[in-house]
C-alpha cells in the first residue's frame, strides 16, 4: 500500500488485515471527480491565504486538470481498466496521483483541510451531479404514465378494494394514481436536495478552519448556494443522505406497488395488459411462459432501498460528535440507493412505454354487473329510498344474482316489484353500464373519462417542466 496521509505519528506499519478491512477506495473511488473539484477550490483558498505561491497554484491547477482529463478519459484507472490500486481511500489516491502530476506543491494541498470535510463535500457533490439524471428519468416515467393514461382513458377495468371487485374505473385513472405518487416523490426530492446543496468546506477536521477562508467564494466556485453553519455538525451530518435515501425508498415502494398491479394485470387471470417482449422473459423449461421479470425486479429492488435507509439510520444512531470512522459505511448504502433508483426508474419507464392493453378483456371484466351495485343503490336513493335501505335491497339483489347466476339488468318488472316495491326506475337499472358508472364520477379527481383526460394532460405537461 501507498504512503499514508497520516503516517508520522506511528512507528509500526498497519496490520495488513486491518488495512484491507478499513479501506474504502474500492467504492469511494466514485468520488474522485468530486475530490478533484473540491481540491481545485481549495487551491484558490490556499493561494489567497498566501500558503501557496502563484507558481505552485498554477502547477496544482494544471495537475488537477490533467487528473480530471485522465478520469474522464477512456483509459481512466478508475473505470474498470485493470485492478484498482490498493489504497486507503479516494483522498489518498488523488493526493498521490497529484504529487506525480504536479510535483512537490501537491504536498501543500492538505494545509488547513481535513478528509472529514472533504468526504462530506464529495458525497454532496456526487449526489448533486446525479440530480439532473434523476429528474430526467422521473420526468420520462411521469410523461409515459400520462401518455398511457391519455391513450387508455376509455378502457375500463374493475377497480378493487381488498383486491375484490369494487367499482369500474378507467385504466388511465389507475395509471395516474401512480403518477400522483411520483409527483409527490419529485417534490420530496427537490426539498431533500435543498439540504444536500450546503457547502461543508471550511469546517476543518471538526472545529473550523484556521485559514482565513472566503467560504462564500468557495461555495460559488463549487456551485453551492448555502454554507453549513456549524463545523461539528457539518463533518458529521448525514441527514441529507438519509433524506434522499428515504425518498428513494418511498419511490421504490410506490413502484413496487405499481409493479405488483401490473404483474397481476398481465396474468391470464386478469389479462388486461400484455407485457412488451422487450421487458419480459421466458422459461428454460416451459415454452409457453412469458414472465414479467422486469416488474418483479422493480418490486424486489424496493427491499434494497428500504435496507439502505435502515442501514443509514442505524449507522447514525448513537454516534458521538463529531466525525467517526463509522461514517465511511454511509457510502455503499448511498451509492446503491442512487444506482438502484436510477435503474428502477429507467426500467419502469420502458415497461410503461412498451406495454399493450387488451381492451376487450378489460371491458369483459369491467362489465361485471356486481360492479354496478353502488350505482343501483344510487338509483333507489333517487327514488327517495334512504341509502341504508337501498344498500340492504341491493344486497339482496346481488345475493339473488349470485345464487341464480344472473345479471340484475335482466330482471323483469315483476321481479323488481317484488324486490323493491315502488322502485320507479327498472328500465334505468336495466340500462346501467360500466361506462355510465364511470361517467357519473365526474368530480375533480374522479374516474370519469373527462377527468382522466384532463389529469393525464396535466401530468404530461408537468413532466415536461420537471
Report, in Å, the least distance between residue 247 CB and ligand ARG: 23
Which phi and psi angles does 123 have, rounded to 5°?
Answer: -65, -40
Selected binder of ligand ARG within 328, 339, 354, 425 (CB under 6 A): 328
Check binding of 89 to ligand ARG (CB under 6 A). Answer: yes
Question: Segment near ligand ARG (CB under 6 A), from 11-19, 62-70, 211-219, 322-330?
Answer: 322-330
For the question of residue 254 being annotated catalytic, the response is no
Selected binder of ligand ARG within 95, 137, 157, 327 (CB under 6 A): 327
Report, in Å, the least distance between residue 6 CB and ligand ARG: 8
Which candidate in 22, 53, 267, 283 is catalytic?
Answer: 283
Task: Work out the burial of residue 54: count CB atoms within 10 Å of its CB; fewer than 13 is exposed, 13-18 middle, 19 or more buried.
Answer: exposed
Closer by beta carbon to ligand ARG, 93 or else 408? 93
Tell me which residue of 341, 337, 246, 266 sits closest to 298, measured CA to CA. 341
Q: How far apart are CA 43 and CA 36, in angstroms?
A: 10
Measured CA to CA in angstroms, residue 116 lies from 9, 24, 137 at distances of: 19, 14, 32
Report, in Å, the least distance between residue 183 CB and ligand ARG: 35
Question: Segment near ligand ARG (CB under 6 A), from 279-287, 293-301, 325-333, 379-387?
Answer: 325-333
- Number of residues in contact with ligand ARG, rule: CB under 6 A? 10
Do 79 and 179 touch, CB atoms closer than 8 A? no
Report, in Å, the least distance between residue 194 CB and ligand ARG: 24
Q: How far apart are CA 354 and CA 369, in angstroms?
A: 31
**For 115, what's the count of Cα atoms within 13 Å in the CB-facing half-sphere?**
18
Q: How far apart are CA 102 and CA 187, in angstroms?
A: 44
Closer by beta carbon to ligand ARG, 241 or else 251? 241
Question: Segment near ligand ARG (CB under 6 A), from 115-123, 157-165, 333-341, 356-364?
Answer: 115-123
Do 75 and 81 touch, CB atoms closer than 8 A? yes
Selected binder of ligand ARG within 41, 45, 119, 141 (CB under 6 A): 119
Closer by beta carbon to ligand ARG, 144 or else 209? 209
Check binding of 325 to ligand ARG (CB under 6 A). Answer: yes
The 3-state DSSP composition of the chain as helix, strand, coil percent (nearest 5) reads 65, 5, 30
Check binding of 92 to ligand ARG (CB under 6 A). Answer: no
Contacts of 206 (CB under 8 A, 6+ apart): 114, 116, 231, 232, 235, 322, 323
Question: Segment near ligand ARG (CB under 6 A), from 60-68, 112-120, 138-146, 442-450?
Answer: 112-120
Closer by beta carbon to ligand ARG, 28 or else 243? 28
Closer by beta carbon to ligand ARG, 17 or else 269? 17
Closer by beta carbon to ligand ARG, 26 or else 212? 26
Tell me which residue of 214, 186, 36 sits closest to 125, measured CA to CA. 36
Question: Segment near ligand ARG (CB under 6 A), from 111-119, 143-151, 295-303, 433-441?
Answer: 111-119
Report, in Å, the least distance between residue 347 CB and ligand ARG: 30
Q: How far apart are CA 171 and CA 169, in angstroms?
A: 6
Tell me which residue of 384, 382, 377 sits closest to 419, measured CA to CA. 377
Selected binder of ligand ARG within 29, 42, 115, 361 (CB under 6 A): 115
Check binding of 9 to ligand ARG (CB under 6 A). Answer: no
Residues 10-49 that bind ligand ARG (CB under 6 A): 24, 28
SS3 142: helix
Check binding of 203 to ligand ARG (CB under 6 A). Answer: no
Tell me which residue of 303, 178, 216 sits closest to 186, measured CA to CA. 178
Question: Segment near ligand ARG (CB under 6 A), from 10-18, 36-44, 319-327, 349-357?
Answer: 319-327
Closer by beta carbon to ligand ARG, 119 or else 393? 119
Contacts of 409 (CB under 8 A, 6+ apart): 369, 429, 430, 431, 432
For the question of residue 162 being annotated catalytic, the response is yes
Q: How far apart are CA 215 and CA 233, in angstroms?
A: 16
Catalytically active residues are 162, 283
Interface contacts to ligand ARG, rule CB under 6 A: 24, 28, 89, 115-116, 119, 323, 325, 327-328
Amino acid at each position: 500500500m501507498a504512503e499514508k496521509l497520516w503516517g508520522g505519528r506511528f512507528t509500526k506499519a498497519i496490520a495488513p488485515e486491518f488495512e484491507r478491512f478499513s479501506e474504502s477506495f474500492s467504492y469511494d473511488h466514485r468520488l474522485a471527480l468530486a475530490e478533484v473539484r473540491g481540491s481545485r477550490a481549495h487551491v484558490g483558498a490556499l493561494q489567497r491565504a498566501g500558503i501557496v505561491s502563484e507558481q505552485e497554484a498554477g502547477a496544482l491547477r494544471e495537475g488537477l486538470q490533467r487528473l480530471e482529463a485522465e478520469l474522464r478519459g477512456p483509459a481512466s484507472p478508475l473505470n474498470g481498466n485493470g485492478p484498482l490500486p490498493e489504497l486507503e481511500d479516494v483522498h489518498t489516491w488523488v493526493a498521490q496521483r497529484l504529487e506525480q502530476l504536479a510535483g512537490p506543491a501537491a504536498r501543500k494541498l492538505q494545509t488547513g483541510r481535513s478528509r472529514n470535510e472533504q468526504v462530506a463535500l464529495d458525497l454532496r457533490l456526487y449526489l448533486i451531479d446525479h440530480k439532473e439524471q434523476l429528474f430526467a428519468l422521473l420526468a420520462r416515467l411521469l410523461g409515459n404514465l400520462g401518455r398511457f393514461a391519455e391513450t387508455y382513458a376509455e378502457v375500463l377495468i374493475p377497480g378493487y378494494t381488498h383486491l375484490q371487485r369494487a367499482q369500474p374505473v378507467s385504466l388511465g385513472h389507475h395509471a395516474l394514481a401512480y403518477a400522483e405518487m411520483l409527483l409527490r416523490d419529485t417534490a420530496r426530492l427537490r426539498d431533500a436536495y435543498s439540504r444536500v446543496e450546503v457547502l461543508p468546506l471550511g469546517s476543518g477536521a471538526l472545529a473550523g478552519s484556521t485559514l482565513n477562508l472566503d467560504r462564500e467564494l468557495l461555495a460559488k466556485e463549487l456551485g453551492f448556494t448555502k454554507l453549513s453553519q456549524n463545523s461539528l455538525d457539518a463533518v458529521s451530518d448525514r441527514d441529507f443522505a438519509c433524506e434522499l435515501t428515504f425518498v428513494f425508498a418511498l419511490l421504490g415502494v410506490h413502484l413496487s406497488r405499481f409493479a405488483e398491479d401490473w404483474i397481476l394485470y398481465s396474468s391470464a387471470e386478469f389479462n388486461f395488459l400484455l407485457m412488451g417482449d422487450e421487458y419480459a422473459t421466458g422459461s428454460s423449461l416451459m415454452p409457453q411462459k412469458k414472465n414479467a421479470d422486469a416488474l418483479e425486479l422493480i418490486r424486489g429492488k424496493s427491499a434494497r432501498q428500504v435496507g439502505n435507509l435502515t442501514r443509514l439510520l442505524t449507522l447514525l444512531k448513537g454516534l458521538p460528535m463529531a466525525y467517526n470512522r463509522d461514517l465511511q459505511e454511509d457510502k455503499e448504502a448511498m451509492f446503491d440507493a442512487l444506482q438502484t433508483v436510477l435503474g428502477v426508474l429507467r426500467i419502469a419507464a420502458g415497461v410503461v412505454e412498451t406495454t399493450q392493453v387488451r381492451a376487450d378483456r378489460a371491458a369483459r371484466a369491467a362489465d361485471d354487473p356486481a360492479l354496478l351495485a353502488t350505482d343501483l343503490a344510487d338509483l333507489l336513493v333517487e327514488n327517495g329510498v334512504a341509502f341504508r335501505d337501498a344498500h340492504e335491497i341491493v344486497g339482496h339483489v346481488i345475493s339473488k344474482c349470485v345464487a341464480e347466476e344472473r345479471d340484475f339488468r335482466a330482471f323483469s318488472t315483476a321481479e323488481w316489484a317484488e324486490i323493491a316495491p315502488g322502485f320507479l326506475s327498472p328500465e334505468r337499472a336495466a340500462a346501467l353500464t360500466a361506462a355510465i358508472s364511470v361517467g357519473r364520477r365526474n368530480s375533480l379527481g374522479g374516474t370519469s373519462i373527462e377527468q382522466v383526460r384532463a389529469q393525464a394532460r396535466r401530468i404530461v405537461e408537468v413532466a415536461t417542466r420537471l
